[in-house]
């Protein structure tokens, strides 16, 4: 069994240290108030048993809490008091140097919590360490000087989570929907260099990857681009290639027929499209941004976004190549094809590609094949999105279809209905048309719903009172995020604010107009709806006796966001947080505050957003249908998933799920496994096994447990992780049941 020290390093649990600590406190009190040797052993063994039963790797602070509880349970209050005083004194001595200690453990790759914080960052690499080191200093500044004490205390206690505190000191925001069309068609500037409109598809792809890297270095969340914005450059290349072919024929004196010319042009064009797509694929996974990781990028594939028949056909050509290359994967250092984490792909299901006989069903079959092997693309239903996302003046069924920003963060519909009067001064502004590209999210604060429930003691009136108070606390924390961005000059990130990614403001101009009126959003995140409902009602929220309460919790958050929005002209929105590492933090805090409560705090994780609990037996179609009602009440962002076995030999079933998604839910994905053992070449599922109280990855073929010699890819929070996870998230992955 392991234990996590205060500096984040992980060491073997040592029972003698607990016994010695109790004996030291024991020696400080009169003999008639001391524990007997037997009681010392009894208390120590009880603490050990509780650590084993915790469901996660415990921290030193948790062990000390358990020791205090044992001393109290034995009625040795004087000994307990001495132990608490000693603990307090030692804590005061440590306070002055905690940040230094954390940084030192980062440098030595000995901080287990940070090593597993982000499944797409390798903490042994110096560039990642540099980002984490800067983050620790920034976080310390944020918590000590920039945030109100009530927000800091609530964050530390796990009552709320103030996301990305390591970036808060700078004037940075969360997610972007990049206006790639404006930047490619009207030019941009990168690192002081003017980039004009490209003259070929391959050049456009190359410029796009440079834009992606620049944007990623100026914010800390996800970003999305649309392949539709690259589609016009296919015809630019087609015409260029045609001129070249004619020139070659003329040079050699050969008279080719129009059909022969067309064949040669299309062959070369496909080769160029393949090169351009490969540029995006490989640049994204090999580029390193200033935060020490590949850009967190989502690529949107939506046929009906094309403006004319030619553009739609060219867009289909790009989508086809993107899916083919993603199905193939990328080679690892051993030359084996594996599943990359990025770019994340989103494929829109629409009438033209949904069923056999429709013009683009061949793309849907290719998407199904890719999903079965590589876990992407994910799927958006044009039908459901047009029901949900209604800009000003639109009616249900005729709304807007657009991509999320990163893995799930969705913009609110354009409440101006006319692109906000081009407040961002984009050069591709179209009066009267709703605007999405060029907008962004200001930040996220997440409420711990199970904590609200447990704090209420199952008193329903108390629950709603506490819920109101906690939501207002989140509101104050979100206002901190907003105020931190207010007054930011466009010079802080020229690629975003001056050169088209989000706006084309003047140098020295404030970004403030983009923070109001709905142009950008700000997210009220939530986590653990299942555990909240389970505690308050005794049932899963899938049970008819609890579903109404679960929906009322969601509705309450939406009502509060609407109140704040009306009062402040800021688009607050309910957001199903992708709590990759926070799921573990919240679980540990709940156990520390409330102990082990069966079905609520007895795991090393809590459930993401509104999701059905990962251990609950439910079929894929029932799960998606059930979650669709909750997804609609999570307009700021949400994604549902179904866990499936290897489906590469059953693509018909994959397509059935995709068709069900189209009719029933706005945004969903299929989770499968995609692993490889570098020691023996095994390419099946790498297993999770328990070793001394800790979950480790093991090849079932050769027994390899060296994470550096295996490739494991799992969907964790709407995106694929490839650098492993903390123990809480790892436990959640192990507990997942199949839905198909």
User: Active-site positions?
Assistant: 174-175, 405, 407, 409, 441, 575, 580, 718
Whether 486 contacts 512, CB under 8 Å: yes
Separation of CA 47 from chain center: 36
DSSP line for 713-728 = EEE-SSSEE-S---HH
**3-state class (DSSP) for residue 5:** coil
Distance CA 397, CA 381 (A): 12
Q: Position of tokens 């970003």?
A: 223
Distance CA 666, CA 348 (A): 10
Nearest to 305 by CA among 207, 497, 433: 433
Rg (CA), the chain: 27
Distance CA 441, CA 230 (A): 24
- Measured between its terminal Cα atoms, the distance across the chain in Å is 35
**3-state class (DSSP) for residue 572:** strand
Number of Cβ within a 10 Å radius of residue 455? 18
Whether 492 contacts 482, CB under 8 Å: no
Q: Tokens in use for 277?
A: 């797509």
Separation of CA 671 from chain center: 15
Label residues 269-282 b or e (16+ Cβ within 10 Å = b): beebbbebbbbbbe
Distance CA 405, CA 420 (A): 19
Nearest to 338 by CA among 718, 676, 670: 676
**∠722-727-730 over CA atoms, to 5°?**
50
Number of Cβ within a 10 Å radius of residue 72? 12
Whether 642 contacts 670, CB under 8 Å: yes
Distance CA 223, CA 184 (A): 17
Q: Tokens in use for 166?
A: 């390591």
CB-side neighbour CA atoms (13 Å) of 651: 12
Judge residue 90's burial from the number of C-beta atoms within 10 Å of its C-beta, 0-12 exposed, 13-18 middle, 19 or more buried: exposed
Q: Position of tokens 């692109």?
A: 419
Q: What is the DSSP letter of 118?
A: -
- Which helix (H) or strand (E) segment holds residue 484: the answer is helix 460-485
Distance CA 581, CA 471 (A): 22
Whether 317 contacts 273, CB under 8 Å: yes
Distance CA 134, CA 143 (A): 14
């Amino acid at each position: 069994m392991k234990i996590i020290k205060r500096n984040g390093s992980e060491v073997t649990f040592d029972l003698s240290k607990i016994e010695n600590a109790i004996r030291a406190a024991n020696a400080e009190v009169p003999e008639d108030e001391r524990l007997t040797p037997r009681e010392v052993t009894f208390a120590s063994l009880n603490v050990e048993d509780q650590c084993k039963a915790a469901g996660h790797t415990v921290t030193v602070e948790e062990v000390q809490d358990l020791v205090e509880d044992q001393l109290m349970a034995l009625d040795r209050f004087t000994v307990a008091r001495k132990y608490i005083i000693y603990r307090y004194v030692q804590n005061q001595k440590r306070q002055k140097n905690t940040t230094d200690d954390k940084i030192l453990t980062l440098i030595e790759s000995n901080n287990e919590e940070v090593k597993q914080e982000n499944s797409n960052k390798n903490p042994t690499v110096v560039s990642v360490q540099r980002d984490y080191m800067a983050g620790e200093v920034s976080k310390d500044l944020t918590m000590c000087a920039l945030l109100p004490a009530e927000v800091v205390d609530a964050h530390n206690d796990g009552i709320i989570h103030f996301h990305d505190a390591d970036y808060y000191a700078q004037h940075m925001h969360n997610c972007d929907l990049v206006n790639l069309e404006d930047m490619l068609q009207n030019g941009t500037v990168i690192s002081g260099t003017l980039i004009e409109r490209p003259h070929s598809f391959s050049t456009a792809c190359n410029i796009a990857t440079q834009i992606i890297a620049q944007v990623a270095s100026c914010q800390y969340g996800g970003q999305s681009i649309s392949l539709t914005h690259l589609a016009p450059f296919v015809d630019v290349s087609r015409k260029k290639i045609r001129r070249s072919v004619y020139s070659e024929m003329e040079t050699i004196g050969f008279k080719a027929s129009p059909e022969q010319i067309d064949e040669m042009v299309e062959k070369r064009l496909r080769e160029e499209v393949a090169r351009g797509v490969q540029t995006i694929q490989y640049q994204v996974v090999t580029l390193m941004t200033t935060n020490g990781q590949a850009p967190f990028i989502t690529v949107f594939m939506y046929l009906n976004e094309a403006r004319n028949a030619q553009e739609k056909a060219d867009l289909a050509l790009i989508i086809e190549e993107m899916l083919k290359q993603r199905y193939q994967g990328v080679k690892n250092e051993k030359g084996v094809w594996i599943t990359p984490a990025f770019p994340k792909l989103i494929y829109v299901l629409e009438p033209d590609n949904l069923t056999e006989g429709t013009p683009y069903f061949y793309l849907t079959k290719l998407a199904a094949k890719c999903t079965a092997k590589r876990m992407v693309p994910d799927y958006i239903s044009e039908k459901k999105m047009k029901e949900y996302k209604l800009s000003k003046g639109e009616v249900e069924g005729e709304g807007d279809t657009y991509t999320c920003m990163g893995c799930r963060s969705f913009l609110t519909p354009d409440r101006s209905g006319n692109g906000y009067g081009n407040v961002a001064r984009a050069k591709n502004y179209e009066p009267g048309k709703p605007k999405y590209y060029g907008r962004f999210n200001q930040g996220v604060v997440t409420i711990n719903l199970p904590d609200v429930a447990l704090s209420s003691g199952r008193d329903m009136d108390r629950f709603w009172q506490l819920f109101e108070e906690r939501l207002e606390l989140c509101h104050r924390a979100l206002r901190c995020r907003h105020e931190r961005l207010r007054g930011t000059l466009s010079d802080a990130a020229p690629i975003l604010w001056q050169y088209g990614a989000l706006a084309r403001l003047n140098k020295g101009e404030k970004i403030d107009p983009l923070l109001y009126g709905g142009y950008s959003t700000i997210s009220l995140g939530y986590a653990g709806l299942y555990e909240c409902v389970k505690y308050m009602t005794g049932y899963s929220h899938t049970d008819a006796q609890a579903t109404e309460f679960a929906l009322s919790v969601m509705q309450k958050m939406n009502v509060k966001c609407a109140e704040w929005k009306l009062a402040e002209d800021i688009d607050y929105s309910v957001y199903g947080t992708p709590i990759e590492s926070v799921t573990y933090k919240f679980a540990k805090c709940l156990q520390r505050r409330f102990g082990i409560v069966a079905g609520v705090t007895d795991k090393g994780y809590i459930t993401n957003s509104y999701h059905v609990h990962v251990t609950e037996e439910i079929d894929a179609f029932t799960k998606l249908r059930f979650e669709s009602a909750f997804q609609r009440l999570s307009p700021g962002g949400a994604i549902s998933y179904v866990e499936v076995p290897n489906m590469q030999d059953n693509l018909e079933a994959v397509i059935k799920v995709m068709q069900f998604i189209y009719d029933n839910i706005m945004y969903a994905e299929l989770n499968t496994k995609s692993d490889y053992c570098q020691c023996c070449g095994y390419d099946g599922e790498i297993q999770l096994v328990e070793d001394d109280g800790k979950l480790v990855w093991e090849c079932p073929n050769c027994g390899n447990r060296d994470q550096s010699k295996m490739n494991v890819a799992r969907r964790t929070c709407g995106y694929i992780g490839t650098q492993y996870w903390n123990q809480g998230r790892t436990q959640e992955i192990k507990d997942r049941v199949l839905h198909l």
